[in-house]
Amino acid sequence: MTDTVLATKGLTKRYGNHLAADRVELTVGKGQIYGLVGRNGAGKTTIIRMVSAQTVPTAGEIFLFGATGKELSRMRARTGVMVETPSFYPYLTARQNLEYYRIQRGVPGKGTVDQVLEEVDLADTGKKTFKNFSLGMKQRLGLALALMNRPDFLLLDEPINGLDPEGIVEFRNLLLKLNRERQTTILISSHILPELANLATCYGFIDNGVMLEQISAQALEEKCRACIEARVDDPSAAALVLEQRLNIRDYEVLPGNLLRLYQELDRPQAVAKALVEGGVGLLSIESRGANLEDYFLSMIGGVRHA
């Protein structure tokens, strides 16, 4: 388990009758940027809150850097956490707030605070107190706190909420830089999927507290690649027709009499014609190219309407 930064086994959190997390098995490998994907209330924040000791699990185990039980506290000092809205003392300035936590955590060097404020572009806030910060500035300060102890593992819950487009790009570049230069492992939860798609090297899809799937970005890309999807009455006959008439070799036969073809993408009409002429009953045919959003929606059974 040395290359595993975070692992959960049967992690469960129950609030009364509501299961916020249901036997979640999650594994984050060293150096990964793990995108935790789920809609609001799916259980993303609950999982991060359990990992960061803000709430006690009802059942299950958490392993951080291979340690569990009482050793977890020590390992949490190797993490940087930003959960929900960043929270600081409203009457202190950015520098005073960070200095307070620097002293509390025993982070050496008074220059650390200035350095980390510089990193998140908050070095010029002067005497402005936290209560007068914009939401974007608060997010940056939250990130500054998470980075202050140069963590090996960053847990970020919806970190780009409130950032302007420029801030989002800067934030993304900063995370990529940390991951590349310091080998910082990152778990980032978000429901803004296009943004996650720009970062993540691995995904975990969660819905109703249940971990539906964990998949690498590469495998997901494979799954989401452009294709022609044809639903037929006899998949074996259809496969034979496609191989013989169109020389198609790159295809998949999926449950539900579904064929997914990765060749002849610009000629769906030729595919349809070949199938019909080959005596195959063609029920439907369409060109597809799924993205992360489509994939997630297909996984949870489409958009839910209230």
Report the nearest approach of another protein to the CB of residue 8 (Å).
16
How far apart are the C-alpha atoms of 88 and 265, rounded to whole Å?
A: 54
Report the nearest approach of another protein to the CB of residue 151 (Å).
10
Task: Tell me the H-state helices in the chain.
Answer: 44-51, 72-76, 94-105, 111-119, 135-148, 165-181, 193-197, 217-224, 235-246, 268-277, 292-300
Q: Which is nearer to another protein, 81 or 116 (CB)?
A: 81
Residues that bind another protein (CB under 8 A): 52-56, 72-77, 79, 81, 83-85, 87-92, 96, 99-101, 103-106, 145, 149
Report the nearest approach of another protein to the CB of residue 201 (Å).
24
Find where tokens 């990992």 sit: 51
Contact 147, 139 (CB under 8 A): no
Q: Which is nearer to another protein, 103 or 226 (CB)?
A: 103
Q: Which is nearer to another protein, 75 or 228 (CB)?
A: 75
Report the nearest approach of another protein to the CB of residue 203 (Å).
23
Quickly list DSSP for 17-56.
TEEEEEEEEEEEETT-EEEEE--TTSSHHHHHHHHTTSS-
Report the nearest approach of another protein to the CB of residue 80 (Å).
9
The angle at the Cα of 139, spanning 138 to 145, to the nearest 5 degrees, equals: 90
Q: Which is nearer to another protein, 89 or 218 (CB)?
A: 89
Q: Which is nearer to another protein, 77 or 219 (CB)?
A: 77
Q: Which is nearer to another protein, 138 or 246 (CB)?
A: 138
**Residue of 174, 165, 164 whose CA lies nearest to 136:** 164
How far apart are the C-alpha atoms of 79 and 64, rounded to whole Å?
A: 9
HSE toward the beta carbon, residue 222, CA cutoff 13 A: 8
Report the nearest approach of another protein to the CB of residue 154 (Å).
12
Phi and psi (nearest 5°) for 56?
A: -90, 130
How far apart are the C-alpha atoms of 249 and 242, rounded to whole Å?
A: 8
Report the nearest approach of another protein to the CB of residue 204 (Å).
20
Q: Which is nearer to another protein, 156 or 197 (CB)?
A: 156
**Residue of 29, 1, 47, 24 whose CA lies nearest to 152:** 29
